[in-house]
């Protein structure tokens, strides 16, 4: 999808092209049509996602296509107001407005504290279409009657979470009271605290909700862990984890459609209601499966990567990779399904000896080593050799000469070891005495299951 296909004017497309942008980022793909369509927007996006152009480009387009009649004398009203928490961000955003609007007749300026107010007053005397401001200094201007906010058509709260962290909520409310009731509101925030939610509720009218993961960086809000386990025992471990932790609304990923169907059968045999969603199912079947999952009728949704793309479920936890994806980027997409909207998420991967190369590729991509654990009673058997993964780009690790039958497992923590020290792989014959006689114990639960009553309360609300 190109910028012009999004309905942006030639002048704007030319400006972004001269910046070297060839195609819109995911947030731009979603935000630009929504803003052009006049809708309010609530976007969860961090810096680095291209969010600034996401709101600036459509604002430029809207303002330049609808010129207004301006007073011949007196103060010129501002048409779009962008509030930012810091001076640096205000300056940066206004620079972007200038860059993207360089072929248009749209004017902009910035006002922030810590500098002499007089040059700002001077600039505000002329026509300013887009004003980028920090809240405190903007209120100084309001008090001195050097700015007219009575005709603001579009309001942007950029990095709203930081504004609230910095104690700007009262200033923001005072500014909101000065704006016309009829206007478009766009709220961008990296996280969604209760405060942000309450601000959004009072501010936004039926907003389009946009959430994007940062490119090639797993969301900060997701706790990730690898469970090392034998290939043939994955399903047993999965059922054990789901039951022990009482996980509800669990999204499980498999590599293949066939694998997804097989896993659903096995989970069902283990008394865990599950349903699959993949490319071989009709759209109607997929919609039905998703609706049942959302309604809490089934506990587990087993999905392949393609089928999971459009899934949008809040409060999803956890995401489990029953098998690692062949393409490392898919790992980021998969775990981006949890930890959304500011809620702490959890993602666990069951990894067998065949997948150690896939795991390394993922860790290289996300530039981080993931914590590894081996549960008692699910200790890996070092005698088991790696087998090729069908259609895999890697993972077909063959045992090397002189290291026969010794898969190169990364160090893992034992869940029953209070010190959580790295654990060596213990030969199978010595394992028995390490297995607790009365089943498995997770002495250090890594999750906090949502009690059933909380789920039903949420659903009811
Ligand atoms: P932001 O998240 O708005 O701070 O933008 C992060 C960086 O991405 C900035 O340096 C932008 O110049 C750049 N950027 C924004 N949109 C695009 C795009 N469509 N293609 C390439 N770079 C972009």
Our answer on whether the CB atom of 25 is closer than 6 Å to any ligand 1 atom is: yes
Atom in ligand 1 nearest the alpha carbon of residue 92: 4
Residue 416: its pLDDT value, please? 52
Residue 194: its pLDDT value, please? 77
Q: Verify cis geometry, omega within 30 degrees of 0, for the bond prior to 318.
A: yes
Q: What Å distances lie between residue 250 and 47, 118, 438, 444, CA to CA?
A: 29, 58, 27, 20
Of the listed ranges 214-228, 261-275, 363-377, 404-418, the one predicted with least confidence: 404-418
Residue 308: its pLDDT value, please? 62
Our answer on whether the CB atom of 48 is closer than 6 Å to any ligand 1 atom is: yes
Q: Where are the domains of the chain?
A: 4-211, 222-459
By most ligand atoms within 8 Å of CB, the mutation choice from 12, 25, 217 for ligand 1 is: 25
Q: Where does residue 205 fall: left (phi above 0), alpha (psi -120 to 50 degrees), or beta otherwise?
A: beta
Query: Could you tell me the pTM of the whole model?
Result: 0.53
For ligand 1, atom 5, name the residue with the nearest CA: 50
For 222-459, CATH gives: 3.40.50.300
Residue 343: its pLDDT value, please? 58
Our answer on whether the CB atom of 328 is closer than 6 Å to any ligand 1 atom is: no
Q: What is the mean pLDDT of residues 86-93?
A: 84
Sheet holding 80-83, edge to edge: 108-111, 130-133, 80-83, 154-157, 184-189, 41-44, 208-211
- List, for residues 403-426, the tens digit of each pLDDT value: 334 456 677 766 653 333 333 332
Statement: residue 440 has pLDDT above 60: no
Statement: residue 228 has pLDDT above 90: yes
CA 286 to chain centre: 23
For 4-211, CATH gives: 3.40.50.300
Q: What is the mean pLDDT of residues 430-459?
A: 30
Element (H, E) at 297: none
Residue 218: its pLDDT value, please? 59
Q: What is the mean pLDDT of residues 375-396?
A: 75
CA 280 to chain centre: 27
Measured distance CA(42)–CA(211) in Å, rounded: 9
Residue 43: its pLDDT value, please? 92
For residue 53, how far is its CA from the centre of ligand 1 (angstroms)?
7
Of the listed ranges 74-78, 117-121, 294-298, 413-417, the one predicted with least confidence: 413-417
Q: Is the fold of 4-211 the same as that of 222-459?
A: yes
Residue 203: its pLDDT value, please? 93
Confidence of residue 172 (pLDDT cuts 50, 70, 90): very high
Q: What percent of the chain has pLDDT over 90?
A: 50
Specify the higher pLDDT residue, 325 or 283. Answer: 325
Q: What is the mean pLDDT of residues 435-442?
A: 30
């Amino acid at each position: 999808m190109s910028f012009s296909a999004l309905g942006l004017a030639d002048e704007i497309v030319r400006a972004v092209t001269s910046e070297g942008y060839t195609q819109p980022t995911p947030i731009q793909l979603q935000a630009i049509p929504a803003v052009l369509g006049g809708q309010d927007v609530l976007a969860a996006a961090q810096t680095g996602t291209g969010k600034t152009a996401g709101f600036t480009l459509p604002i430029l387009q809207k303002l330049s296509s609808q010129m207004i009649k301006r007073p011949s004398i007196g103060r010129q009203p501002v048409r779009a107001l962008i509030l930012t928490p810091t001076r640096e961000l205000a300056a940066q955003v206004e620079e972007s407005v200038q860059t993207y609007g360089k072929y248009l007749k749209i004017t902009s300026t910035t006002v922030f504290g810590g500098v002499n107010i007089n040059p700002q007053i001077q600039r505000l005397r002329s026509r300013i279409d887009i004003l980028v401001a920090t809240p405190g200094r903007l209120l100084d201007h309001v008090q001195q009657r050097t700015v007219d906010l009575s005709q603001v058509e579009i309001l942007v709260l950029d990095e709203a979470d930081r504004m609230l962290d910095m104690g700007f909520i009262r200033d923001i409310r005072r500014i909101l009271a000065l704006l016309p009731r009829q206007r478009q509101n766009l709220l961008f925030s990296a996280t969604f605290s209760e405060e942000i939610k309450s601000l959004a509720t009072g501010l936004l009218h039926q907003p389009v909700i946009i959430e994007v993961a940062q490119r090639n960086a797993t969301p900060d809000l997701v706790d990730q862990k690898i469970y090392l386990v034998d290939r043939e025992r994955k399903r047993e471990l999965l059922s054990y984890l789901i039951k022990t932790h009482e996980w509800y609304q669990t999204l499980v990923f498999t590599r293949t459609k066939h694998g997804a169907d097989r896993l659903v059968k096995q989970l069902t045999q283990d008394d865990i209601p599950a349903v699959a969603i993949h490319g071989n199912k009709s759209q109607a079947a997929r919609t039905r499966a998703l609706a049942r999952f959302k309604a809490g009728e089934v506990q587990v949704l087993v999905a392949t990567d393609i089928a999971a793309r459009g899934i949008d479920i809040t409060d999803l936890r956890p995401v489990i990779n029953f098998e690692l994806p062949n393409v490392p980027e898919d790992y980021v997409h998969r775990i981006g399904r949890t930890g959304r909207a500011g809620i702490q998420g959890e993602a666990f991967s069951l990894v067998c000896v065949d997948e150690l190369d896939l795991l390394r590729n993922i860790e290289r991509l996300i530039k981080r080593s993931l914590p590894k654990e081996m549960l008692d009673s699910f200790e890996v058997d070092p005698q088991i050799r790696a087998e090729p993964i069908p259609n895999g780009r890697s993972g077909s690790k063959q045992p090397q000469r002189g290291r026969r039958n010794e898969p190169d497992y990364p160090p893992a923590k034992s869940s029953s070891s209070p010190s959580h020290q790295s654990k060596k792989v213990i030969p199978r014959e010595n394992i028995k005495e390490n297995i607790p006689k009365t089943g498995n114990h997770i002495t250090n639960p890594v999750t906090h299951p949502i009690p059933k009553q909380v789920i039903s309360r949420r659903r009811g609300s």
